[in-house]
Amino acid sequence: MAGGTMVQTITPELRRWIVEQTVAGFSPESVLDAMVKVGWRQELAAAALEDSLREHRRQRGDGRGTGVAPVVVPARFQAVARLPEISLSPSLLCLDAGDRQVRVLATLSLPRVVVLGGLLSDEECEALIAAARPRLARSLTVQTQTGGEELNPDRTSNGMFFTRGESELVRRIEARIARLVNWPLENGEGMQVLNYPVGAEYKPHYDYFDPAEPGTPTILQRGGQRLATLVMYLNEPAEGGGTIFPDVGLEVAPQRGNAVFFSYDKPSPITRTLHGGAPVVQGEKWVATKWLREREFI
């Protein structure tokens, strides 16, 4: 490989180089970093690494009897067997959410994104805001070094968490979500409500927990990895506040009652689920977020 402008094609030569580097003792993470440093886009480099190591492992079996140590695909490149998923067909415009019909406004394959219309009623949006308002505090983010929480300058909202099932309103919405995404209700984290005043934002980030961080094993004890996110819009700021996906040039407008769902089958940038909340320019923004885990969230 050479620096400068390059045609980013995953060739047999590149696959051999990846395997040779890994067999020689370089970690998959260091191979990925080397590719990125010479100009490869991270998601394409990760895809080449994942495919090459999987094929090598398939050809070599577990490495026994070959004189070659087995190559282990790192956790962040291993896809889960099953994901929360909204069942769609090409002609399906509405979804049965049990107590409500929800419209399909837009879909994207990579990343897997579904924009939903009318997931919540106006009355439910107002009720969530009213219940959350007295409990707001400066939003925290997960501290990946320890598994705890911390203030983060990239996240300038105020927020709170509802306990799962804590009220009739929360239970109704959680049951609706579980039906829509075909995922056990108990595998969901408690719903979080966030308020963004003028100028507040959440800079682009990933929702999964990075396996390379020392605090991740502690975080995963509560229900495994995050697999999907649902962001519900509770009001409409006068300007700004969209949900952005920088890797694919997508922005979802914050329209009251609507929602955006996206899933990620591995904790890796290859999922292209980098996303953020754009700054609020005028007014304020209220959203409710539901994260879905592998197992029961405790």
The reported pLDDT for the residue numbered 1 is: 43
Give residue-wise pLDDT tens across range 10-50: 889 999 999 899 888 887 778 888 988 888 887 788 878 87
The reported pLDDT for the residue numbered 50 is: 79
The reported pLDDT for the residue numbered 67 is: 45
Average pLDDT over residues 100-124: 96
Q: How far is 298 from 292, CA to CA, in rounded Å?
A: 12
- Per-residue pLDDT for 226 more than 80? yes
Nearest 5°: phi and psi at 190?
-60, 145
5 vs 97: which has the higher pLDDT = 97
Whole-angstrom Cα Rg for the chain: 21
- Per-residue pLDDT for 292 more than 60? yes
With the C-alpha atoms ordered 216, 279, 197, 289, is the resulting torsion angle positive or negative? negative
The reported pLDDT for the residue numbered 39 is: 87
271 vs 152: which has the higher pLDDT = 271
- Per-residue pLDDT for 5 more than 70? no
96 vs 77: which has the higher pLDDT = 96
Q: Assign 112 a pLDDT band (cuts: 50, 70, 90).
A: very high
CATH number for domain 94-293, candidates 2.60.120.620, 1.10.10.10, 3.50.50.60, 2.170.130.10: 2.60.120.620
Give residue-wise pLDDT tens across range 176-190: 999 999 999 999 999
Q: Assign 157 a pLDDT band (cuts: 50, 70, 90).
A: confident
244-283: b or e for each residue (b if 16 or more CB lie within 10 Å)? bbebeebebebebbbbbbbbbbbbbbbbbbbbbbbbbeeb
Q: 74 preceded by cis ω (within 30°)?
A: no
The reported pLDDT for the residue numbered 280 is: 97
The reported pLDDT for the residue numbered 4 is: 44
What percent of the chain is modeled with pLDDT above 90?
A: 62
- Per-residue pLDDT for 169 more than 80? yes
Give residue-wise pLDDT tens across range 244-283: 999 899 999 999 999 999 999 999 888 989 999 999 999 9
Average pLDDT over residues 215-233: 96
295 vs 54: which has the higher pLDDT = 295
Average pLDDT over residues 120-140: 93
The 3-state secondary structure of the chain, one letter per residue: CCCCCCCCCCCHHHHHHHHHHHHCCCCHHHHHHHHHHCCCCHHHHHHHHHHHHHHHHHHHCCCCCCCCCCCCCCHHHCCCCCCCCCCCCCCCCEEECCCCEEEEEEEECCCEEEEEECCCCHHHHHHHHHHHHHHCEECEEEECCCCEEEECCCECCEEEECCCCCCHHHHHHHHHHHHHHCCCHHHECCCEEEEECCCCCEEEECCCCCCCCCCHHHHHCCCCCEEEEEEEECCCCCEECCEEECCCCEEECCCCCCEEEEECCCCCHHHCCCEEECCEEECCEEEEEEEEECCCCC
